[in-house]
């Protein structure tokens, strides 16, 4: 397969400087500083609402095919695609979080499990579809 390049639309600014358990981010407030080039694309993003933030695990440099879930060696090994491990083939993460408010080129969010300096690749409104 042919590779491709991605460009960040913003970067996470947070007091969380090192990876921790995703549970630690539940009520944590952080900021996504948007690249000014993309500001028109955020024109109709309203707050408060749930959003899906797609980002790159920028501190990961390799990935195993199997991992212990949540890094817990007491749990059996599982294929990386059946876990939420940050060590993945393309180092991509996605989190549903709450857009609290927008301050110009900054999105204030709650519950984003990404550390300071994390490149943000895309942001989408989170829409739950009803299943009939």
Q: What is the pLDDT of residues 48-79, one digit of tens each?
A: 999 999 999 888 777 788 988 877 899 999 99
Contact 111, 98 (CB under 8 A): yes
Half-sphere exposure of 67 (CA within 13 A, CB side): 18
Structural domain contains residue 82: no
Is residue 75 domain-resident?
Answer: no
Three-state secondary structure call for residue 103: strand
The model's pTM: 0.85
Q: Is 62 inside a domain boundary?
A: no
Please compute the mean of the pLDDT values over residues 92-99 and round it to a whole number. Answer: 95
Separation CA 107–CA 17 (nearest Å)? 18
Q: Is residue 27 part of a domain?
A: yes
List, for residues 12-35, the tens digit of each pLDDT value: 999 998 877 667 778 899 999 999
Residue 15 lies in a domain: yes
pLDDT at 37: 97
Q: Please determine, for residue 131, whether its predicted confidence score (pLDDT) is greater than 60.
A: no
How confident is the model at residue 116, as a pLDDT?
97
Domain coverage including residue 112: 10-49+91-125
Burial of 80 (0-12, 13-18, 19+ CB in 10 A): middle
Cα 21 versus chain centre, distance: 14
pLDDT higher than 60, residue 132: no
CATH code assigned at 29: 2.40.30.70
How many domains, the chain? 1
Report the Cα–Cα distance between both ends of the chain, in Å, rounded. Answer: 37
102 lies in some domain: yes
Each residue's pLDDT tens digit, 104-113 = 999 999 999 9
| 64 is a domain residue | no
Residue 34 in any domain: the answer is: yes
**Band of pLDDT at residue 120, cut at 50, 70 and 90:** very high
């Amino acid at each position: 397969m042919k590779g491709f390049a991605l460009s960040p639309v913003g970067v996470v600014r947070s007091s969380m400087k090192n990876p921790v358990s995703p549970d630690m981010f539940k009520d944590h407030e952080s900021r996504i500083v948007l690249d000014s080039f993309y500001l028109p694309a955020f024109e109709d993003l309203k707050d408060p609402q749930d959003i899906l933030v797609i980002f790159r695990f920028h501190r990961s440099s390799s990935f195993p095919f199997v991992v212990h879930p949540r890094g817990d060696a007491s749990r059996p090994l599982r294929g990386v695609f059946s876990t939420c491990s940050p060590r993945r083939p393309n180092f991509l993460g996605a989190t549903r979080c709450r857009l609290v408010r927008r301050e110009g080129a900054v999105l204030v969010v709650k519950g984003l499990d990404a550390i300071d300096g994390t490149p943000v690749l895309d942001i989408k409104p989170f829409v739950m579809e009803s299943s009939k």
